[in-house]
Amino acid sequence: MHILLVHAHPEARSLNGALTRFIVGRLERQQHSVAVSDLYAMRWNAVLDRADRLDIDPDQRFDPSLDSRDAYARGTQSPDIAREQDKLRRADAVILQFPLWWFSMPAILKGWVERVYAYGFAYGVGEHSDARWGDRYGEGSMAGKRAMLVVTAGGWESHYGPRGINGPIDDILFPIQHGILHYPGFDVLPPHVVYRTGKTDVARFERICAVLGERLDTLFTTPPLPFRRQNGGDYTIPELGLRDDICPGRAGFCIHLAQR
Ligand code: FAD
């Protein structure tokens, strides 16, 4: 199998750098091939703007969505975007590896998503009508591929528990796991989160790698998070609300996960 690892940390000698090297080594030992997009090392341009469309008229008003659509359709995207899209097409699984910064991904990784996820590639895919709202949330161009987050956080695990002050980690990661990964069709695996990073020494790093190693060995067999499919019958069309008879009276992120 072929895995794309997208890594977002500015320092190779960091904990995240060490985790990325461990991930590559472990996957290659399992006879997988691995491509790494090391965003800081690549000096990835995180800013979506009119330069993303090579054939844009200088006098034309730039529309981030429509110009993305036209550039994708006409093959006039900035080459760095097209290269990352090719890496995604080739991958059977994608790992996003990053430190939690301000309760989300580092800006450079968000910018990778914004620019690489073009209209027609990651959104605006499939039939859009009164009866169908496109191929997304479980369907789309990434259907059949797996994705997993490997995240480090300075906070303690209890800070991210069900009643922890930071909010539950599943809620914090929901916009990434559901909005960025499930949306274009990935099967999303449970995340691997390393907490309390300041307390890492050689012995703890070995324990972290032992657990992470098992996750990597089961990358293609671990059951994905049971996010509901948009076109699976659980949502009303075109309102796209969860049917009243499913999780009645409840709201929040958790209702979009089917009970196992
Ligand atoms: P490093 O600082 O490189 O390392 C952490 C520890 O691991 C160090 O003690 C280091 O000596 C040790 N270590 C590194 N490599 C190894 C190795 N190979 N073997 C053994 N030990 C090793 N945290 C939150 O919880 N929530 C937030 O919202 C949040 N926001 C942040 C925003 C910003 C802008 C920043 C800078 C930090 C934020 N943090 C937050 C903390 C952040 O998540 C952690 O600093 C980060 O996850 C640590 O990862 P690192 O790779 O930078 O670790």
The CATH number linked to 174 is: 3.40.50.360
Alpha carbon of 151 to ligand 1 centroid (Å): 10
Q: Is residue 119 part of a domain?
A: yes
- Is residue 219 helix, strand or coil? coil
For the four alpha carbons of 22, 23, 24 and 26, in that order, the dihedral sign comes to positive
pLDDT at 109: 99
- Give the atom of ligand 1 at the shortest distance from the alpha carbon of 19: 18
**pTM of the predicted protein model:** 0.97
Q: Is residue 246 part of a domain?
A: no
243 exposure class (CB count in 10 Å sphere: 0-12, 13-18, 19+): exposed
pLDDT in tens, 239-258: 999 999 999 999 999 999 99
Containing domain of residue 130, as a range?
A: 2-225
pLDDT at 260: 60
d(CA 175, CA 154) in angstroms, rounded, equals 20
d(CA 165, CA 2) in angstroms, rounded, equals 38
Q: Is residue 251 part of a domain?
A: no
- Mean per-residue pLDDT for 193-212? 97
Total domains present in the chain: 1
Alpha carbon of 198 to ligand 1 centroid (Å): 6
Residue 34's contacts (CB-CB under 8 Å, 6 or more residues apart) are 2, 3, 4, 5, 23, 24, 27, 28
Q: Is residue 95 part of a domain?
A: yes
Q: Is residue 153 part of a domain?
A: yes
Kindly report the protein residue whose alpha carbon is nearest to atom 41 of ligand 1.
Answer: 154
pLDDT in tens, 74-127: 999 999 999 999 999 999 999 999 999 999 999 999 999 999 999 999 999 999
d(CA 202, CA 111) in angstroms, rounded, equals 33
Helices (H) and strands (E) in the chain, counts: 6, 6
Q: Which residues line ligand 1 (CB under 6 A)?
A: 9, 14-16, 18, 99-103, 152-155, 197-198, 200-202, 205
Q: Is residue 80 part of a domain?
A: yes
Alpha carbon of 202 to ligand 1 centroid (Å): 14
* Omega of the bond leading into 223 within 30 degrees of 0 (cis): no
Please report which helix (H) or strand (E) contains residue 100, including its range. Answer: none
Beta carbons within 10 angstroms of residue 53's beta carbon = 25
Residue 169: which pLDDT band, with cuts at 50, 70 and 90?
A: very high
Task: Tokens 């006098």: give the residue.
Answer: 59
Q: Is residue 239 part of a domain?
A: no
Kindly report the protein residue whose alpha carbon is nearest to atom 12 of ligand 1.
Answer: 200
Q: Is residue 182 part of a domain?
A: yes
Kindly report the protein residue whose alpha carbon is nearest to atom 17 of ligand 1.
Answer: 15
